[in-house]
A and B are shown apart, each in its own frame.
Chain A
């Protein structure tokens, strides 16, 4: 039972990763690519982590996985914003 659930979660995570990278390739503009990127970061990693957490042996590993996801969430959200703002700055000429 746990195997089936974790398999679904992991596959869903990988799906969002692929969707995010296809979006990164196909979308026309840096700002729209940003949206694709954050889907991969949040959903992809989150679902993947949830699926793997079901397999973890102890609470410490599960907490570490959660910490990784939170760190990636906060860091990638801020990084994506900073990158887009820097690109905007370079566009409007400075």
Chain B
């Protein structure tokens, strides 16, 4: 079982590396933000695997927090700023 878990963690790292290529390359900021979403979800997956592999239940909390705050950064990307004080 642990071998399978570390293998899947490796798989997630590869997915993350591919996503990184998109962050580096992606012609627009939108592409980069989509890749950030993927990296965030891959990070959540890695933390879930690590919490079982390393026997650290606290990493589940980290995964939850990471998931919620990835949403916050996506909203930061889309907020439309007012152009003048009201």
Contact = CB atoms under 8 A, between A and B. Distances in A.
B41 A71 contact: no
B60 A45 contact: no
Interface in A50-94: 52, 55, 61, 64-65, 67-68, 71-72, 75-76, 78-80, 82-87, 90
Given A37-B37, A48-B48, A83 B30 contact: yes
Interface residues of B, number: 42
A48 B61 CA distance: 17
Interface residues of A, number: 45
A2 to B, nearest CB: 10
B60 A7 contact: no
Contacts of A45: 41, 44-45
Given A25-B21, A25-B22, A71-B67, A83 B52 contact: no
Contacts of B70: 75-76, 79
A3 B67 CA distance: 27
Contacts of A78: 71, 74
Contacts of A7: 1, 4
A68 to B, nearest CB: 5
B18 A13 contact: no
Interface of B: 1, 4-5, 8, 11-12, 14-16, 18-19, 21-22, 28-31, 33-35, 37-38, 41-42, 44-45, 48-49, 52, 57, 60-61, 63-64, 67-68, 70-71, 74-75, 77-78
